[in-house]
């Protein structure tokens, strides 16, 4: 090969190497940014859920039905919620017993 061809090959290979290194660096930085964006998104979802809970609590406390429900739940021993929780615990216990019986 002649000298101008060698010069052209060196210039092109150097440029290609430079772009390849820059692409790898950019790719690593982009992966880091996406991880940070995912963390921010998860925090935002948590904040939105908490805001919904707060809005629901405020709504319940500003209505007459909500006040009555609050009074019944807190001053009469939990009312319906305790019964539902006990029933759910009983069902879960029965399911576990059935699974153990099937395994034997």
**Quick check: pTM over 0.75?**
no
pLDDT digits (tens, 9 = 90+) for 46-87: 898 888 888 887 776 777 776 777 777 777 765 555 666 777
Short-list 12, 30, 31, 10, CA closest to 20: 12
6-47, pLDDT tens digit by residue?
999 999 999 999 999 999 999 999 999 999 999 999 998 889
3-class SS string, 10-78: HHHHHHHHHHHHHHHHHHHHHHHHHHHHHHHHHHHHHHHHHHHHHHHHHHHHHCHHHHHHHHHHHHCCC
- Which DSSP category does 79 fall into? T
Is the Cβ–Cβ distance between 44 and 36 less than 8 Å?
A: no
């Amino acid at each position: 090969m002649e000298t101008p061809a060698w010069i052209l090959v060196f210039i092109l290979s150097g440029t290609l190497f430079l772009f390849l290194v820059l692409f790898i660096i950019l790719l690593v930085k982009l992966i880091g940014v996406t991880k940070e964006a995912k963390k921010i998104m998860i925090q935002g979802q948590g904040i939105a859920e908490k805001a919904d809970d707060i809005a629901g609590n405020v709504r319940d406390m500003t209505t007459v039905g909500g006040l009555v429900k609050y009074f019944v739940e807190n001053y009469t021993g939990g009312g319906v919620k305790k019964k539902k929780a006990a029933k759910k615990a009983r069902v879960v216990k029965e399911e576990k017993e059935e699974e153990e019986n099937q395994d034997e």
